[in-house]
């Protein structure tokens, strides 16, 4: 009995076997390339899809505001490294530092074995970002331009780290923001110069989240149209704009320079105002506190001119 069969009979059998092998190989490759059922994906602030195979357990923060967002999202225990000046909450001060905005210790980054990097495009250089990309670790870009982007960041970072509290925290922030905004809606506008340093003289443009906080309070950023996020401006340019108020994020001492220009509206009316720069300039949950102070100060500006509120 011919078990193997004749060559004519064997050919179809071998052909079918090869087809089956190719189908099996294709299935294996498809499974290998597709995300696992447990994979988690979100869209970051640069519009890119960020995917982790499972909730991230070892996260490195590359900006102080990112550190605050991660803690707010309930992922503080997953942070294994932070950038310099990550000083809130108190627990952040005890975390290993991996450098600052000028220089990152990439050997230490690798040694920490991260499974998620959270970076800040405006604060990390393109060279640093390119080096981080080469590590092949999922990278989330956090760049809130509006106050509503803060709870959105909290939600997405919470999803990537498997936090069960992030959505609740984001919901509460949105509630506070809505109530806060309603309290200052329809106020008469105040033209504001927002100063972040004096030598050289720097401000922020309309793309920065501070401008959104100003708008919430009825403030108008006089340099909102400038193309650079943190542009240098001249004293002459500020004098030409003649703002009704000057708001400084570095303390009242830095505003004293304007007193030599008594003809300025802001100086005449005593509207040299100071806010906590950390609360205002960091795009984290504490911005609501900074915005509260800012809005109260702009209300005082309105009272001093006797305008209807």
Burial class (CB in 10 A: 0-12, 13-18, 19+), 94: exposed
Q: Report the pLDDT value the prediction gives residue 23, as an integer from 0 to 100.
A: 52
What span, in angstroms and rounded, lies between the C-alpha atoms of 175 and 153? 16
Q: In what order do the strands lie in the sheet with 79-81?
A: 79-81, 59-61, 116-119, 139-141
**In 10 A of CB 266, how many CB atoms?**
23
Q: Report the pLDDT value the prediction gives residue 1, as an integer from 0 to 100.
A: 37
Considering the entire predicted model, what is its pTM? 0.83
Q: Report the pLDDT value the prediction gives residue 155, as an integer from 0 to 100.
A: 98
Beta carbons of 51 and 115 less than 8 angstroms apart = no
Q: Report the pLDDT value the prediction gives residue 183, as an integer from 0 to 100.
A: 81
What span, in angstroms and rounded, lies between the C-alpha atoms of 158 and 169? 10
pLDDT tens digits for the chain (309 residues)? 333 333 344 444 434 443 444 354 344 444 444 445 589 999 999 999 999 999 999 999 999 999 999 999 999 999 999 999 999 999 999 999 999 988 999 999 999 999 999 999 887 788 889 999 999 999 999 999 999 999 999 999 999 999 999 999 999 999 999 988 888 878 899 999 999 988 899 999 999 999 999 999 999 999 999 999 999 999 999 999 999 999 997 766 778 899 999 999 999 999 999 999 899 989 999 999 999 999 999 999 999 986 444
Q: Report the pLDDT value the prediction gives residue 124, as an integer from 0 to 100.
A: 79
DSSP per residue, 82-93:
B-TT---SGGGG
Q: Report the pLDDT value the prediction gives residue 110, as an integer from 0 to 100.
A: 96
> What residues have CB less than 8 Å from 198, skipping those under 6 apart?
250, 254, 257
* Domains recognised in the chain with CATH numbers: 40-170 (3.40.50.1980), 187-305 (3.40.50.1980)
């Amino acid at each position: 009995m011919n078990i193997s069969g004749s060559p004519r009979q064997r050919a179809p059998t071998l052909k079918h076997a090869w087809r089956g092998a190719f189908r099996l190989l294709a299935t294996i490759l498809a499974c290998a390339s597709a995300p696992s059922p447990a994979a988690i994906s979100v869209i970051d602030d640069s519009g890119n899809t960020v995917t982790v195979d499972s909730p991230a357990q070892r996260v490195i923060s590359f900006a102080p505001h990112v550190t605050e967002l991660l803690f707010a999202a309930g992922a503080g225990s997953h942070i294994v490294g932070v950038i310099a000046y990550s000083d809130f909450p108190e627990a952040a001060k005890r975390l290993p530092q991996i450098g600052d905005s000028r220089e990152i210790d990439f050997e230490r980054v690798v040694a920490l074995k991260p499974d998620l990097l959270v970076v800040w495009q405006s604060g990390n250089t393109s060279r640093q970002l390119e080096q981080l990309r080469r590590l092949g670790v999922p990278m989330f870009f956090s760049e809130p331009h509006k106050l509503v982007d803060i709870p959105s960041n909290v939600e997405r970072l919470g999803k990537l780290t498997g936090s069960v509290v992030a959505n609740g925290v984001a919901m509460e922030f949105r509630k506070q923001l809505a109530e806060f905004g309603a309290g200052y809606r329809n106020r008469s506008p105040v033209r504001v110069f927002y100063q972040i340093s004096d030598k050289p003289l720097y401000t922020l443009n309309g793309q920065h989240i501070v401008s959104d906080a100003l708008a919430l309070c009825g403030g108008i950023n006089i340099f909102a149209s400038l193309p650079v996020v943190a542009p240098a401006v001249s004293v002459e340019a500020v004098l030409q704009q003649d703002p009704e108020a000057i708001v400084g994020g570095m303390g009242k001492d830095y505003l004293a320079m304007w007193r030599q220009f008594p003809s300025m509206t802001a100086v005449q009316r005593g509207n040299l105002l100071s806010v906590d720069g950390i609360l205002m300039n960091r795009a984290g949950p504490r911005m609501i506190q900074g915005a509260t102070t800012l809005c109260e100060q702009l209300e005082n500006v309105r009272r001093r001119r006797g305008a209807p509120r």
